[in-house]
Structure 1
Amino acid sequence: MNAIDHPLVAAYLDSVARETPGLPAERRAELLADLREHIEVSDARDDAGIRAVLAELGDPRTVAASALAEEGTTSPAPSPAHVADGPRPAGPLAGRQAARIVAALPALGGLLLLGSPYAGAVVLAVGLALLWKSPLWDARHKRIATATSVAVPVLLLLGGLFLAGGGIGPVELLLIGAFSVGLPAAGALVLMRALRA
């Protein structure tokens, strides 16, 4: 097995990529290419050799912080990049899947409010907390997703007020239902598109 194909190397490079969202795409690609080249040149074949090469390169957070400092950007809040015995064994899809879940949680929470107010409120609160802590989106995207997710409880509250007054008909119910599904879905879509950009 070539050193670059080793799972520890893939996890290491993935950790560096996750720690450098503030780098321009071209600079991040250059950094990862340099790291790959260094690992390939080392000619390490077994776990011990690969661990030694990765240790020589340094902790992914340190590598990322150095690259960010050279670029003049600041590092995002640190995330745990290692388990006890080496780099986290997460592939590139694991990061994307986690981001998709964070993007979908606020919308899902808003929709759950239709059937189960308590479960919906919990999922909505957790989803919004994870969204606002994530460095993957800027404040504008976070505000859009928050507004579209919180719109469902507001629509339900307004619908309840109109129902209590007897002033809501089937057309209004249909509109509330459409907005209750469409707005959170639109917010999740905005977050998903921002991830691809």
Structure 2
Amino acid sequence: MKTSADLVRDYLSAVEREASALPADRRQELLADLAEHIEVTRTERPDAATGEILAKLGDPRTIAATALSEAENGAAGAPARGRVGVPARRGKVHPLVPLLMVTLSVPFIMIFPALPGPLIGVLSRITGAILLCTSVHWTAVQKTTGVLLAVVLPSVVFSTANLSGGGPAAGTPALLANLAVLALIAGTAAWLWRVRRV
């Protein structure tokens, strides 16, 4: 007997097979949208059978045919579409904005250590994290990884250093720690930029 995970995997494989004529990036976007929709529906309706959820999504052949038709219309100048019958979600904010806000918060704090520098740096990091989490350019896993590595971990490191030392430390050790955290944040931002959905 097939498990729920098997049913979902088989369904997505069928959509991928039927949509093989789509460009790879558009096919992956379609599969990611479907997987996200299935996961959200399963969370919202835990009592619903997986087969029922998949049946409501529609036949894989129909979904693929609609996506192919929409891709052809999009190439001809029609507006791009996301899930079947649903306009594609495009963020109002360019994907570079949250990455720059999170990354530049550390140099801002290093250059302007007196108030309001740290306050502006922290607000920039929080705003960047919110924009990252609400963006349509990354999957939920990519967003979570980005926020953990670029926002939460550096905040924990800075808080621990400040609390254990009785305040912000000065000198070479603090500079090296700040540069290491900056390298982590910049590396995470570069990875997020590379894996973003266009």
Aligned residues: 134
Q: Structure 1's 29 and 110: CA in aligned 2 closer, same or farther, altered over 3 A?
A: farther
CA RMSD of aligned residues (A): 4.0
Q: TM-score, normalised by structure 2?
A: 0.51
Q: Structure 1's 106 and 99: CA in aligned 2 closer, same or farther, altered over 3 A?
A: same
Rounded to whole Å, the distance in 2 between the matches of 1:177 and 1:127 is 19
Give the secondary-structure state (helix, strand or coil) at the position aligned to 1:117.
Answer: helix
Map 1:104-183 → 2, pairs under 5 A: 104-114=100-110, 115=112, 116-150=117-151, 151-164=153-166, 172-183=173-184
Instruction: In structure 1, give the amino acid aligned to 2:188.
Output: G
The answer to which structure has the higher helix fraction is 1
Aligned position for 2:84: 69
Any stretches of 5+ residues in structure 1 without a counterpart?
1-19, 40-53, 55-59, 81-94
Q: Is the 8 A contact 1:109 1:121 kept in 2?
A: yes
Rounded to whole Å, the distance in 2 between the matches of 1:148 and 1:101 is 17
Rounded to whole Å, the distance in 2 between the matches of 1:99 and 1:139 is 15
Aligned position for 1:100: 96
Rounded to whole Å, the distance in 1 between the matches of 2:29 and 2:87 is 7
Give 1:36 shift.
4.2
Q: Is the 8 A contact 1:21 1:136 kept in 2?
A: no
Of the three residues 18, 21, 30, the one matched with 1:23 is: 30
Percent identity reads 19
Give the secondary-structure state (helix, strand or coil) at the position aligned to 1:118.
Answer: helix
Q: Is the 8 A contact 1:109 1:127 kept in 2?
A: no
Q: TM-score, normalised by structure 1?
A: 0.51
Give the secondary-structure state (helix, strand or coil) at the position aligned to 1:112.
Answer: helix
Q: Structure 1's 29 and 183: CA in aligned 2 closer, same or farther, altered over 3 A?
A: farther
